[in-house]
Amino acid sequence: MKTTEEIYSVSRLTGIIRGLIEDGLPSVWVEGELSNYTLHKSGHRYFTLKDAAAQINCVMWRTRPEPGFKLREGLQVRAFGKVRVWEQGGRYQLDIQSILPAGLGALQAAFEELKRKLADEGLFDTERKRPLPKYPQAIGIVTSPTGAAIRDLVWGFSSRFPAVDIYLLPVKVQGEGAAEEISRAIGNFNRSGLVDIIVIGRGGGSLEDLWAFNEEVVVRAVAASELPVVSAVGHEVDVTLSDLAADLRAPTPTAAATLIVPDRADLIESLKERSTQFARSLSRTISLWRERVSNLSNSYGMKQVVNRVSGERMRIDEIAEKHEHALVRKISDYKRMIDALSGRFTALSPSSVLERGYCVARMDEGSVVKDATSLSTGDKLNLTFKHGGALTTVEEIRLNDKK
């Protein structure tokens, strides 16, 4: 037995095989008959693809996009995926990323099957469709940045209504990953707050070419959008499930601009016509009111009102004059009464009494002497005269002019 040659462990050899297969083979499309189909409780799908001479095990993880048709035994399909090696089981399998029915008839059958399913859920109901804004300020476009659709859309919007802002989220519109990119872009526009309306679309093609817009993930994204969605996919004869779920279907990308934004020239002409109509209407209204005012001012009733107002004005003047005279008389009466009271108060004032030759006698503590009986011989008295005063001593008290 040779011992100089390198000995591989099973896991190392399997790892080398895995590297050779997975690194050496690109992702591929494989067509075959579906058999041994199992939908695991985990959500993963396991099945076999076979033809007359061979078969290959396949797995479609639950994170992959939902097929737009029902997988069943004996169905001829086309699967896109990557060959992977399962080292623990010692076998290889095809990791399926997307799957389509093989042939136009099968694809059409898958289309009708998904259409019935989504229609039963109400995704195509007219009642849930919302009106488009009459004058959108910003439009979000979901399409390929290199296709004819984006050129037609941008030209249509800019030529008809240059004031509108246009935002593009570039996506694949055909092939692997296209459906996921389209649905993700619809969600991004809804979260951005940048646009008033979303347009999804692409140019014409075969049913296979347009299939991304029939994928369930895209149709559900269109139906769930909070912003109105316009579907402009293919030509007028092409109808996709996204068209049915959208709030409005445009026959072509070029026609989308006509349906979404107004024409600038039409707006200008409409504004001119409305301005002229408004000026004429305003002129007629002013003339009508002038005539009404003139008729009213010359009417018998208005003249009676004017005469009544003049008469009342004269009456008010007479009443004002009468009250003015009465007020003057009243003021004169009050003045005379005040003067009389003032004279009386003046005559009774202490200064007037002193003016007539009287004086005021006060005891030392300041009390006024009102009666001679309150005095005693020897009391000191302060005498106040009109001019000055004097200090005196009581030598004799007289009562009723008697000693």
Of 201, 186, 260, nearest to 235 (Cα)? 201
Residue 299, domain member (yes or no): no
Q: Is residue 93 in a domain?
A: yes
Please check whether residues 140 and 204 belong to one and the same domain: yes
Domain that holds residue 68: 10-102
Count Cβ atoms within 10 A of the Cβ of residue 178 and give its class: 0-12 exposed, 13-18 middle, 19 or more buried.
buried
Same domain? For 83 and 127 the reply is no
State percent of the chain over pLDDT 90: 23
**Are 48 and 55 a contacting pair, CB within 8 Å?**
yes
Assigned token pair, 204: 């014409």
Q: Distances from the Cα of 93 to the Cαs of 50, 81, 87, 176, in angstroms? A: 12, 10, 11, 19
Alpha helices in 214-362 (DSSP H): 216-224, 241-245, 253-260, 264-297, 300-348, 350-355
For the four alpha carbons of 51, 52, 54 and 55, in that order, the dihedral sign comes to positive
**Of 71, 102, 133, the domain-final residue:** 102
Residue 149, pLDDT > 70, answer: yes
What is the value of pTM for the model shown? 0.51
Residues 153 and 40 in one domain: no
The CA distance from 242 to 182, in Å, is: 11
294 to each of 290, 291, 302, 303, how far by Cα in Å? 6, 5, 11, 12
CA distance 186 to 348: 109
Query: What CA–CA distance (Å, rounded) separates 353 from 37?
Result: 140
Token pair, residue 191, equals 């979260």
Other Cβ atoms closer than 10 A to 337: 10
Q: What is the CATH number of the domain that holds 39?
A: 2.40.50.140
Give a yes or no: residue 280 inside a domain: no
136 in the same domain as 84 = no
**Together in a domain, 188 and 228:** yes
Q: Per-residue pLDDT for 394 more than 90?
A: no
Q: Which residue has the tokens 């409409």?
A: 270
pLDDT interval class at 381 (50, 70, 90): confident
Within a domain: residue 348?
no
Whether 3 is covered by a domain: the verdict is no
- The beta-carbon contacts of 390-397 under 8 Å, at least 24 apart in sequence, are 397/372, 397/373
Q: pLDDT value at position 4?
A: 56
If you average pLDDT over each of 154-168, 254-268, 274-288, 379-393, which comes out highest? 154-168
Structurally, the chain folds into a number of domains equal to 3
- My answer on whether 191 and 60 are in the same domain is no
CB 216 within 8 A of CB 118: yes
- Is residue 276 within 8 A of residue 282, CB to CB? The reply is no
Please check whether residue 396 is in contact with residue 403, taking contact to mean a CB–CB distance below 8 angstroms: yes
179 plus 80 within the same structural domain: no
Tell me what the pLDDT averaged over the chain comes to.
84
Residue 121 CB burial class (10 angstroms; 0-12, 13-18, ≥19): exposed
Residue-by-residue DSSP string for 12-44: HHHHHHHHHHHHHS--EEEEEEEEEEEE-TTS-
CATH (domain of 188) = 3.40.50.261
In a shared domain, residues 256 and 147: yes
Do 152 and 22 fall into the same domain? Answer: no
How do residues 207-239 score in pLDDT, each as one tens digit?
Answer: 778 888 999 999 999 999 999 999 999 887 778
In a domain, 111, yes or no: no
Q: Do 133 and 205 lie in a common domain?
A: yes
| 153, 96: one domain | no
Domain C-terminal end among 69, 102, 135: 102
Domain-located, residue 386:
yes
Looking at the structure, do residues 134 and 66 belong to the same domain, yes or no? no
Distance CA 105, CA 125 (A): 27
pLDDT in tens, 33-45: 888 888 888 889 9
pLDDT at 272 over 90: no
